[in-house]
Amino acid sequence: MFCSIIIPTIGRATLARAVESALNQTFDPADFEVVVVNDSGRPLPSEAWQQFPQVQVIYNNRRERSFARNSGAAVARGVYLYFLDDDDWLLPGALTAFWQLAQQSPDAAWLHGGIQVVNENSRILGETNSGIQGHCLAQIMGGAWVPIQSSLIRAQDFFQVGGYSPFIRGTEDQDLCRRIAAMGSLANVTTAVACLFRGADWQTSTDYGRAAEDTRRSRDEIINQPGAWRRLRASADSGYWYGRIVHVYLSLALWHLRHSRFFTAASRACYGLTVWLLSGRHLTNRQFWQALCDHHVPGSLHFIQIAWEQEARRPF
């Protein structure tokens, strides 16, 4: 089976749209399945999509998204795993585009395409695709946005890195991407494959209050891995990404310093300064200094939301 589409849900009304966007793909039904993980703690209302043979529903009892996604992956039969939130949906032709990409890049651990950010009125607020591919740990660690909703992950690599971490909440998708990028490669298709719902009616259970702390913890675990230093430098293909590596190391040094882990803080600072010195000709590149100061990487959801909020406040 080519892929398993795993949809954790807390019983939102948008679940039917998410499931139907998968069932409506012009793709051989025998080559994919839909695993709905009901994490709402109550039965789902009866709907037509539940009768399709390629759909199965399993039950968690309010164990949170990472547990729900891991539960879905545990019963999945696909070579690739597609994690879709219950308020987002696939665009027509998405699975065909991914199948073609998988034939072109059979060794890639993570396949991804473009994503449209859409509001409650079906208006596209923005469309983005980082386009990164190959060994790109510097880009992923540096903050390039590769949305899970527009990604296919090879199951063997997902399990090799241990699946979703139950200790990372709010930025668990980025944490998973970092861990896979630390040992595998990415492949990209330019086509937009999914829609991410945002807007006035959007609701989330994400605890953004702990997102910054979890991001630093996740990055710190990655740079502690054997070979991470070499892989970071090897994947930095421009002054901007050299600057992002320095940014990562120095921000982690400050994080450890605030927690009174002085030896580790000194170690992170030394690595950051070493990358700085090894950046060579990039030090005269304006993009290097921009990357060093940026809080968010261009093309990420942050800037799409900022543009949407500015337009919403604009007088007519």
| % of the chain at pLDDT higher than 90 | 73
Q: What is the 3-state secondary structure (H, E, C) of 154-193?
A: EHHHHHHCCCCCCCCCCCHHHHHHHHHHCCCCEEEEEEEE
State residue 120's pLDDT score: 85
Distances 130 to 142, 239, 251 between C-alpha atoms, Å: 12, 17, 23
Enter the pTM of the model.
Answer: 0.92
Q: How confident is the model at residue 315 (pLDDT cuts 50, 70, 90)?
A: low
The top-level CATH class assigned to 1-87 is alpha beta
Q: Give the distance, in angstroms, between the CA of residue 286 and the centroid of all CA atoms in the same chain.
A: 28
Digit-coded pLDDT (tens) for 265-300: 999 999 999 999 999 889 998 999 999 998 888 888
What number is the average pLDDT over the span 83-109? 96
Q: Give the distance, in angstroms, between the CA of residue 171 and the centroid of all CA atoms in the same chain.
A: 8
State residue 129's pLDDT score: 95
What number is the average pLDDT over the span 207-232? 88
State residue 316's pLDDT score: 45
Measured between alpha carbons, how far is 144 from 130 in angstroms, rounded to an integer? 7
Taking phi over 0 as left and psi of -120 to 50 as alpha, with beta for the rest, 49 belongs to: alpha
Residue 171 amino acid letter: T
Cα dihedral 203, 205, 208, 213 in deg (nearest 10): -160
- Among 22-26, 50-54, 78-82, 168-172, the minimum mean pLDDT is found in 168-172
Measured between alpha carbons, how far is 238 from 235 in angstroms, rounded to an integer? 9
Digit-coded pLDDT (tens) for 187-213: 999 999 999 998 766 666 666 677 889
Is the pLDDT score of 226 beyond 60? yes
State residue 202's pLDDT score: 67
Q: Is the pLDDT higher at 311 or at 80?
A: 80
Measured between alpha carbons, how far is 302 from 129 in angstroms, rounded to an integer? 14
Domain with CATH 3.90.550.10 in the chain: 1-87
